[in-house]
Structure 1
């Protein structure tokens, strides 16, 4: 019985997908007032897997750190678009 438990525990540990943090910069050209970044940050913050968000109004960009096992760049851009601020990645996710 003990061997079975150990075998099950090992198989679970071996099959776990380890999360990798990714960082993406999103261009959000529709931010045209000082309160827009607040709305963008709130929208991104509701996406499961988002770890950190920095929104720069002057650059019209949002830098998002996220868990790639829980979300994707597509989900992030969908969140900003749903909030009224279409976005697109500036480069590839790192």
Structure 2
């Protein structure tokens, strides 16, 4: 009986874990990108943020689209990363 309870509790914990972590997508405006090489620096800076799973940087639109785990990263961490790399950004609504 005790073993069944422990197994049930473990199974419940495993099924509940994904509900706490939410994958989010944020679009950042990065107006300081002035050349086609700038997106490389922006992408490298965002890739260093724990929880970031995908990054697309568009030079023509001066924006970065970032997919991240909101349990590990925040919007502030994303904008701080680009700012620290020399490219201040802000979250687009």
TM category (shorter chain) comes to: 0.7 to 0.9
TM-score by length of 2: 0.85
Q: Deviations over 1:29-71 (max 9, x none)?
A: 1100111100000000111111111101011100111111110
* Structure 1: stretches of 5+ with no match in the other structure: none
**d(CA) in 2 for partners of 1:6, 1:55:** 45
* Structure 2: stretches of 5+ with no match in the other structure: none
Moved over 6 A (4+): none
**d(CA) in 2 for partners of 1:37, 1:2:** 54
**d(CA) in 2 for partners of 1:83, 1:54:** 16
* Larger helix fraction of residues: 2
Match of 1:23 in 2: 25
Matches within 5 A, 1:1-94: 1-6=2-7, 8-10=9-11, 12-13=13-14, 16=17, 18=19, 19-91=21-93
